[in-house]
Structure 1
Amino acid sequence: MSGERLAGDARFKNTVQQQVAYLSQKGWFHSIELPDGSVIEGFHSLEELRERMRAFPIPEDLRGKRVLDVGAWTGWCSFELERRGAEVVAMDCIELEEFHMARRLLGSRVELKILDVDELSPATVGLFDYVLFFGVFYHLRHPLLGLEKICSITREAAFVESYVTDGSATEQERATAPCLLEFYETIELGGQVDNWYGPNTRCLEAMCRSAGFARVRVENVVAGRARLTCLRHWEPPAANPTQPAPWIHAAVNNRTGDVYFHHGKDEYVCLYFKTPEPDLTLEKMRVEVDGYGVPALVLADLGRNGWQVNFRCPPWLEPGAHEIRLRTLDSPFSRPFRIEKRLLWEPAPPGGRHRPEEVPAEAATVEAPRLTHLENSLTETGVFHGYRNEYLICWFTTPETGLVREDVALEIDGVREPVLFLTDLGGGAWQTNSRLPADLAPGRHRVRLRTIRSRWSNELYFHLEKEENKP
């Protein structure tokens, strides 16, 4: 049955309960073909199982690949993937004797793990080139979190099949429908207490993107079930790009304006960049974190070739440094910009964080940095207006290498101000970004900087032209 309103439908409930009764008696969810050609008949025939597998772009040759089969049941998909050469882990929330029997009869080496989807993480199961996620979504109490868990362990692609509420709709109807998700509190769907949600196809597609997959493609909708391929990477860049690479000058936490992100918090990256490319749209943005594509959520034109794109910081990032880069459909990738993931949130003390081993400037023997240029991040000039989203960008050169943000101290009119982030531009060139003090008076202001091992740099100046009632 593939009607749009299966929840509460008595015929659908009767069909599901007949299936449950069959499985309670027979036990075999999948048919299994044995080495001698005989077949253990299951609820799903071999042709049904093969047709579903053919619907997805799963390579025939999986040698050297690691694959996870989530919701493995009696294991046909797991054994088929192993037959293609993959190292396979089968996973389910219950242990079925039929799976062990099939594995013995086939001489299989598929590993079985008894886990809930909520327990999946790179730490518990590692990473997989491909993940099968068939018939699981609607059983999850927290389906978006479950999809995030799947995304976090996927290197290349996850293949998702789920019940959808618009299974009998036309392709045009599905394409123009709003994203809708039904919630079933008890046994509304098929008389089963563990059927929690019913998405329509657009909702399922959108949730897969929201979970972190770069690209999501609907392969088909058959018998009330949608089949989606969810990819971790963007398409390859253009062989002959027609636009220059964007230049990232800031990537900050939407809550703190800092480059630090924190475990367990729902934080977003505000990525500021410049490009002369005209007519940018959200659909043209290609953001990566550590080489994996990340869907962009908002794109804003800041004027003067300045842009802002926001995206969710992947919650599964491990503590430490991570690299962000950006391209458009028509450009190569930018240089990377580093952010840092931390386990705990730490407020920055006034004046920023400074290392205790800082050498007094008058005693320093390391060559002073050379401050080469100051700029307003919004206007590309040395004039500021006191706007909240203005950053003071300082470019400098130094023979020192391996600098981190805490290695650099910056002063405005002799008062230290926090360096929010530091970027290695290569070739001994560096960039700092800072905010101006809120109480800074209009006029001409002096800037200098140093590292914890050097003397102070030369001085450069900027102008502040505050106007009353400006945002």
Structure 2
Amino acid sequence: MSAVNQAARHARNLKQLPHVTLISHSIRAAREVPELTVGIEAVEYVQPLDVKDVSECSFYHVTDLPGVGTVGDTWDLRKTIDDYLGRFDFRGKRVLDVGSASGFLTFAMEQRGASVVSFDIREGAEWNIVPYSSPKFDRAQLVRQLEWHIPRIKKAYWLAHRAFGSRAQVYYGDIYDFPAGLGEFDAVNFGMVLPHLRDPFRAMQSATRLSREWVIATQQCPPGQDLPVMQFMPNPQTAEDALSWWWISESCMELMLAVLGFELVRKVRAEHLCVIRGRSESCTAFVARRVRPAVG
């Protein structure tokens, strides 16, 4: 049973969803400059940083970096990257990578034939920090840590960008307000970023307005949960994790995508190595195709 049908079963007042017809979309070549509507101001992409010292960098994903060696210590997707990206065919696609961090997914998609725009926040203070009132929680200290860490992540991205000879462009901004000046994309990719946002649906709505056809979203989902729900993750008793908000069920993801005009094409469940926790963990990649135009 699909997530949309599950939602209809559990919501007594939910009206029958209208029949939708798949809209045919033409796909431009990967290197083509997107056409911008008259009156829309083009964005300025970030100028590359000249980074040569790996000790100035923090890599989120384990990466085999040409001329440097193996770096990274949180997630190792090297053997499972195709499952993580939903076994999507990136050839000839222009892709927006939301929450690119040190760039592993950007460069993996680029190596598979995509033209990529990497997106991330401008500075650590913009992170959606859980506002714990507990005396155990020191928000100022966490902000300082983020302000130290985020520049290192960005330096890691640019070091890898240079090492791979990447042509990816970079835009730093507000995840809840993607500018139209970025142009249209064939696909928008969310790599494990949505659970860290206070309002994941709002971010999805903003980013997917720029997608003419595809969405790829990968995250960890609560096992055995059939209801379209988001479990609130912050624990006021411990106040330990102030950077994670939601555990989103698979059916909830499907329903949110449907609201935004996307129909699920496939889900890919796979085990991926979480180095920092010393074990493989299950993640689900959702690949969905636009069947209705964006609204708003």
Q: What TM-score results when the alignment is normalised by the length of structure 1? A: 0.39
Q: Which residue of 1 aligns with 2:87?
A: 57
Q: Deviations over 1:47-67 (max 9, x none)?
A: x2441333413216x23x211
Quote how far apart the aligned CAs of 1:188 are.
7.6
Q: Which residue of 2 aligns with 1:228?
A: 286
In the alignment, is the contact (CA less than 8 A) between 2:185 and 2:212 conserved in 1? yes
Judged with a 3 Å threshold, the aligned counterparts in structure 2 of structure 1 residues 190 and 228 are, in CA distance, closer, same or farther, namely: farther
Between the aligned partners of 2:71 and 2:283, the Cα distance in structure 1 is: 25
Q: Aligned runs of 1:307-386 on 2, under 5 Å?
A: 314-316=294-296
Q: Aligned runs of 1:260-271 on 2, under 5 Å?
A: none
In the alignment, is the contact (CA less than 8 A) between 1:219 and 1:228 conserved in 2? yes
Q: Which has the higher contact order (CA 8 A, sep 6+)?
A: 2
Q: Give 3-state SS (helix, strand or coil) of 2:176's partner.
A: helix
Q: Which residue of 1 aligns with 2:102?
A: 74
Identity %: 24
- Of the candidates 138, 141, 151, which is equivalent to residue 195 of structure 2? 138
In the alignment, is the contact (CA less than 8 A) between 1:208 and 1:216 conserved in 2? no
Quote how far apart the aligned CAs of 1:225 are.
2.8
Q: Which residue of 2 aligns with 1:157?
A: 214
Q: Are residue 105 (structure 1) and residue 105 (structure 2) matched?
A: no
In the alignment, is the contact (CA less than 8 A) between 1:158 and 1:229 conserved in 2? yes
Quote how far apart the aligned CAs of 1:114 are.
0.9
Between the aligned partners of 2:178 and 2:195, the Cα distance in structure 1 is: 17
Q: Which residue of 1 aligns with 2:229?
A: 180
Judged with a 3 Å threshold, the aligned counterparts in structure 2 of structure 1 residues 213 and 185 are, in CA distance, closer, same or farther, namely: same
In the alignment, is the contact (CA less than 8 A) between 2:63 and 2:78 conserved in 1? no
Judged with a 3 Å threshold, the aligned counterparts in structure 2 of structure 1 residues 81 and 221 are, in CA distance, closer, same or farther, namely: closer
Between the aligned partners of 2:200 and 2:236, the Cα distance in structure 1 is: 18
Between the aligned partners of 1:190 and 1:218, the Cα distance in structure 2 is: 33
Q: Give 3-state SS (helix, strand or coil) of 1:119's partner.
A: coil
One-letter code of the match for 1:77?
L
Quote how far apart the aligned CAs of 1:113 are.
1.1
Judged with a 3 Å threshold, the aligned counterparts in structure 2 of structure 1 residues 180 and 84 are, in CA distance, closer, same or farther, namely: closer
One-letter code of the match for 1:226?
T
One-letter code of the match for 1:98?
A
Q: Give 3-state SS (helix, strand or coil) of 1:124's partner.
A: helix
Q: Which residue of 2 aligns with 1:30?
A: 61
Q: Deviations over 1:251-273 (max 9, x none)?
A: xxxxxxxxxxxxxxxxxxxxxxx
Q: Give 3-state SS (helix, strand or coil) of 1:129's partner.
A: strand
Q: Which residue of 1 aligns with 2:253?
A: 204
In the alignment, is the contact (CA less than 8 A) between 1:145 and 1:211 conserved in 2? no
Judged with a 3 Å threshold, the aligned counterparts in structure 2 of structure 1 residues 193 and 81 are, in CA distance, closer, same or farther, namely: same
Quote how far apart the aligned CAs of 1:25 are.
10
Q: Deviations over 1:343-377 (max 9, x none)?
A: xxxxxxxxxxxxxxxxxxxxxxxxxxxxxxxxxxx
Quote how far apart the aligned CAs of 1:187 are.
6.1
Judged with a 3 Å threshold, the aligned counterparts in structure 2 of structure 1 residues 188 and 80 are, in CA distance, closer, same or farther, namely: farther
Bigger-Rg structure (1/2): 1
Judged with a 3 Å threshold, the aligned counterparts in structure 2 of structure 1 residues 186 and 118 are, in CA distance, closer, same or farther, namely: farther
In the alignment, is the contact (CA less than 8 A) between 2:269 and 2:282 conserved in 1? no
Gaps of 5+ in 1: 1-23, 233-292, 295-312, 317-471
From the two aligned structures, give the one with the greater helix fraction: 2
Aligned residues: 202
Gaps of 5+ in 2: 1-54, 123-150, 272-280
In the alignment, is the contact (CA less than 8 A) between 2:83 and 2:268 conserved in 1? no
Between the aligned partners of 1:66 and 1:208, the Cα distance in structure 2 is: 20
Between the aligned partners of 2:166 and 2:89, the Cα distance in structure 1 is: 20
In the alignment, is the contact (CA less than 8 A) between 1:205 and 1:216 conserved in 2? no
In the alignment, is the contact (CA less than 8 A) between 1:131 and 1:158 conserved in 2? yes
Q: Which residue of 1 aligns with 2:112?
A: 84
RMSD over aligned Cα, in angstroms?
Answer: 2.9
Judged with a 3 Å threshold, the aligned counterparts in structure 2 of structure 1 residues 37 and 49 are, in CA distance, closer, same or farther, namely: same
Quote how far apart the aligned CAs of 1:217 are.
3.1
70-79 or 147-156: bigger deviation: 147-156
From the two aligned structures, give the one with the greater strand fraction: 1
Q: Give 3-state SS (helix, strand or coil) of 2:162's partner.
A: helix
Judged with a 3 Å threshold, the aligned counterparts in structure 2 of structure 1 residues 32 and 188 are, in CA distance, closer, same or farther, namely: farther
Between the aligned partners of 2:238 and 2:204, the Cα distance in structure 1 is: 21
Quote how far apart the aligned CAs of 1:26 are.
7.0
Quote how far apart the aligned CAs of 1:194 are.
2.6
